[in-house]
Amino acid sequence: MSILDNVDAATNLAKNNELQLLVFRVNHKNDSAFYAINVFKTKEVVEVKNHFITQIPASHTLLEGTIILRGVQIPILDLPSWLGNKLSKKSLEKTNILICDFNGITIGLRIMSAFRVIKKNWNEMHAPDSYRLKEDGVVMNDTRLEDGTLCLILDYEKFLAEVIPQAMVDVSADTASLEHFLIPDKLKYGIVLVAEDSKTAQRHMIQIFRNANIKMKIFDNGKKLVDYISELGEDALQVPVIVTDIEMPEMSGFTVIRTLKENPYAKDIPIIVNSSMTGQNNKREAESLGARGFIDKTKSHNIIKLIASVMD
């Protein structure tokens, strides 16, 4: 049986502020670090030895090439090297490829081995400020395995942005079309609140709103945004719109929506979900909770027009 079999439904987990993580290693040593990724960004794990990697001329050094899996060409990214693990030729032969889906784009991450799937509540995910001090930081948050072992969750969007930048949002793509676009006064003169834990995605959002000359305030997770809204009290009525990711430490985007809808001063603020978890179930759940829009992170350059379209 595959290690990814019998995974609970993503939407049911997220709305309960829970997630499941696939835990893996990138080195064969017993004392090597554990890493994890949301299982709903993964498809399967295949052995490297069973696939031929075709190199791509003049590509990024961490883009190893592509494999063909059931007729689909999949780029393979060298995750161990990105993390500073140079594997020997013998070790490379024992590695696996973790097939993942990011924003509808299928990629393969070279790993050593998949360990197990664990279930966590988002309040068990921690994001120390130390992870955010450097621009070259690769860790977003962490959690603990049952025995207390530290398990790190990486900024996979940062990895993708470095190796396959065309797979990420083009922050300048919609600038020209906004020149003659009528932006509502409440949006033009207000401050948009954004909950997003990825520094890469944060930079994209900052640039998008800067291009549109719209003010915004970013929070590293949903709980910080919810706490800020609570502190605002009646002043929350002036907030033009809230944008939230789904996957965040301490509080998922679904819990953010549910909590804000229970706040009398925030319940009517339009909420937009900006996520790489683009499955139809997630979109339906966001809508059922009261979100007015859902946008794929690779299309975030369209978010200003989406926001304007849902404002009263």
Residue ranges of the domains in the chain? 10-166, 176-310
Q: Return the amino acid letter for 248.
A: M
Q: Return the amino acid letter for 14.
A: A
Contact 45, 96 (CB under 8 A): yes
CA-to-CA distance for 20 and 284, rounded, in angstroms?
20
Q: Name the residue among 105, 87, 219 with its Cα closest to residue 159.
A: 105
**Given this structure, which CATH class describes domain 10-166?**
mainly beta
Tokens of 191: 């401050």
Contact 117, 32 (CB under 8 A): no
CA-to-CA distance for 32 and 131, rounded, in angstroms?
19
CA-to-CA distance for 257 and 15, rounded, in angstroms?
10
Per-residue pLDDT, 272: 95
Measured between alpha carbons, how far apart are the two ends of the chain, in Å? 51
To the nearest 10 degrees (0 to 180), the angle between helices 156-163 and 199-211 is 70
CA-to-CA distance for 301 and 113, rounded, in angstroms?
36
Per-residue pLDDT, 217: 97
Tokens of 248: 């965040």
Half-sphere exposure (Cβ direction) of 163: Cα atoms closer than 13 Å: 22
Q: What is the DSSP letter of 44?
A: E
Per-residue pLDDT, 184: 86
Q: How many CB atoms lie within 10 A of CB 227?
A: 13
Q: Name the residue among 245, 170, 175, 161 with its Cα closest to residue 209.
A: 175
Angle in degrees, CA 288, 125, 95, rounded to 5 = 105
Per-residue pLDDT, 1: 47
> In this predicted model, what pLDDT tens digit does every residue of 176-200 receive, in sequence order?
556 667 788 899 899 999 999 888 8
> In this predicted model, what pLDDT tens digit does every residue of 217-232 receive, in sequence order?
999 999 999 999 999 9
* Consecutive H or E run containing 272: strand 271-275
Q: Name the residue among 14, 127, 33, 39 with its Cα closest to residue 83.
A: 33
CA-to-CA distance for 143 and 122, rounded, in angstroms?
9
In which residue are the tokens 């509540």 written? 121
CA-to-CA distance for 261 and 16, rounded, in angstroms?
16
CA-to-CA distance for 57 and 31, rounded, in angstroms?
36
CA-to-CA distance for 118 and 21, rounded, in angstroms?
5
Q: Which residues of the chain fall short of a pLDDT of 70?
A: 1-2, 5-15, 30, 132-135, 169-180, 278, 312
**Given this structure, which CATH class describes domain 176-310?**
alpha beta
CA-to-CA distance for 83 and 78, rounded, in angstroms?
9
